[in-house]
């Protein structure tokens, strides 16, 4: 029987690209402040503790908003009604970030930004998972979230540090607010509601609402609970590292702001590459072994900065090869929880892992790391980041495999034995 060749220009690829850029611009606007802290801190007279608190407030608001509005999107059966307003608001709040004049006004603006950005990842990932063919689920999900590395962590440090050096840090915030506005109009025109959410076998009928019992099942699922724990430790690695690495490079390792931007860009580009390579590997190797291996390798990235102070090319190369952590995020935040539950509950499951990770890793950890940096040295946050990735890799040993190819193989083996 002949099979019709599927066109590249199909909706599955289109929605992956739309979510790729939407999530990428979210992190462009979220991470821009950490690359601008070397400019903002002396201007607003911020301490390391205040820097950590600014990052923490955004994370707390992000976590709460993500849990509430992602679950609500599952309840009402609509992703567009939440994602479109969120995209518009976080773009406008980037402009507002350039208008602040003191610590407290920055805290308020970044908190509001966290509220607007929180639902984006769960909704984007649940949409991609719903529209993906099973054999491409890992790649699609990983590629979508790898935009954090390419857009958020590669282009952003180069763009904002150049713009802040040539003009002002305020102008850099205005600049990075523009792409989100563009994506708002693109989504308004081309995004449609994922039909598979209502068609999943065993899912609640399209005409019925998800019940309390359905939501309780999310919190009882073994993989969701383990992924939530991993999220706490691994987001400690991410946010402590990204918050304090730029300041460490300029004030301790004595690199220029431009060199710091290039080193962080190399790390960001590595995050982009590994961000889809890792989930693609998991499509063949399995989610569990891939997550373990990449978590353990990711623990090396903060150690490289703490121990090695080499030439710019050496640091960029080391940064690229140790920036494998981004590839772990789609696995424990979206793919594994998403494959452990019915599709109509995926956004809720992702929001649970995101909530815990943002509170512990995004809010508590950067604040503690900031106090540790003031009390001891700026190397302390790097060691905290190392510990977060290491514990995540150890915890991943308890995950139950969900990759379709591995699960199918296990079922076939069990059937053969019986």
Rounded Cα–Cα distance for residues 405 and 301 (Å): 31
State the Cα–Cα distance between residues 378 and 397, nearest whole angstrom.
Answer: 32
Per-residue pLDDT, averaged over 267-283, amounts to: 86
CATH architecture of 14-194+212-417: Up-down Bundle (1.20)
Decide: 53 and 99 in contact? Cβ < 8 Å. Answer: no
Stated pTM of the model: 0.77
d(CA 280, CA 327) in angstroms, rounded, equals 9
Write out pLDDT tens, residues 55-74. 888 888 988 999 899 888 88
Length reported for the chain: 418
Going by pLDDT thresholds of 50, 70 and 90, the confidence category of residue 173 is very high
Give the residue, 208 or 41, on which the prediction is more confident. Answer: 41
Q: DSSP 3-state helix, strand, coil percentages of the chain (rounded to 5)?
A: 80, 0, 20
pLDDT in tens, 9-46: 688 899 999 999 999 999 898 889 988 988 999 999 98
Residues with Cβ within 8 Å of residue 318, at least 6 apart in sequence: 304, 308, 310
223 or 358, which is more confident? 223
Beta carbons within 10 angstroms of residue 304's beta carbon: 19
Domain ranges in the chain are 14-194+212-417
Q: Which two tokens stand for residue 347?
A: 């956004």
Helix (H, G, I), strand (E, B) or coil at 45: coil
Kindly tell me if the per-residue pLDDT of 204 is higher than 60: no
Q: What is the pLDDT of residue 202?
A: 43
| 143 Cα distance to chain centroid | 12
Average per-residue pLDDT for the chain? 86
Which residue, among 309, 245, 232, has the nearest Cα to 271 in the 3D structure? 245
In percent, the amount of the chain with pLDDT more than 70 equals: 91
pLDDT at 137: 81
Mean pLDDT of 152-174: 89
């Amino acid at each position: 029987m002949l099979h019709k060749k599927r066109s590249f220009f199909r909706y599955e690829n289109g929605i992956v690209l739309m979510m790729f850029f939407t999530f990428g611009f979210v992190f462009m606007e979220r991470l821009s402040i950490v690359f601008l802290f070397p400019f903002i801190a002396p201007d607003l007279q911020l301490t390391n503790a205040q820097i950590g608190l600014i990052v923490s407030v955004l994370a707390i608001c992000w976590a709460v908003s993500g849990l509430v509005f992602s679950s609500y999107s599952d309840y009402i059966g609509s992703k567009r009604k939440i994602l479109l307003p969120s995209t518009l608001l976080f773009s406008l709040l980037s402009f507002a970030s350039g208008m602040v004049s003191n610590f407290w006004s920055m805290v308020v603006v970044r908190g509001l930004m966290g509220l607007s950005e929180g639902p984006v990842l769960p909704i984007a990932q649940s949409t991609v998972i719903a529209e993906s063919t099973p054999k491409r689920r890992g790649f699609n999900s990983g590629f979508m979230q790898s935009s954090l590395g390419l857009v958020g962590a590669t282009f952003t440090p180069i763009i904002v540090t150049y713009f802040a050096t040539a003009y002002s840090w305020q102008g850099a915030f205005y600049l990075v607010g523009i792409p989100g506005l563009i994506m708002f109009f693109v989504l308004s025109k081309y995004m449609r509601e994922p039909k598979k959410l209502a068609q999943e076998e065993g899912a609640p009928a399209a005409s019925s609402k998800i019940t309390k019992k359905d939501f309780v099942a999310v919190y009882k699922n073994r993989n969701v609970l383990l992924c939530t724990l991993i999220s706490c430790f691994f987001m400690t690695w991410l946010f402590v590292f990204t918050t304090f690495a730029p300041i460490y490079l300029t004030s301790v390792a004595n690199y220029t702001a431009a060199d710091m931007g290039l080193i962080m860009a190399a790390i960001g580009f590595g995050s982009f590459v590994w961000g889809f390579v890792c989930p693609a590997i998991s499509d063949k190797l399995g989610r569990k072994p891939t997550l373990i291996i990449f978590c353990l390798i990711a623990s090396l990235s903060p150690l490289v900065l703490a121990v090695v102070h080499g030439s710019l090319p050496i640091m960029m190369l080391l940064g690229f090869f140790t920036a494998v952590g981004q590839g772990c995020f789609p696995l424990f935040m979206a793919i594994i929880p998403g494959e452990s539950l019915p599709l109509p509950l995926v956004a809720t499951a992702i929001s649970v892992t995101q909530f815990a990770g943002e509170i512990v890793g995004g809010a508590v950890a950067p604040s503690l790391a900031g106090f540790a940096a003031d009390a001891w040295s700026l190397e302390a946050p790097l060691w905290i980041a190392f510990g977060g990735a290491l514990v995540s890799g150890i915890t991943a040993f308890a995950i139950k495999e969900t990759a379709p190819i591995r699960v199918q193989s296990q079922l076939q083996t069990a059937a053969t034995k019986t």
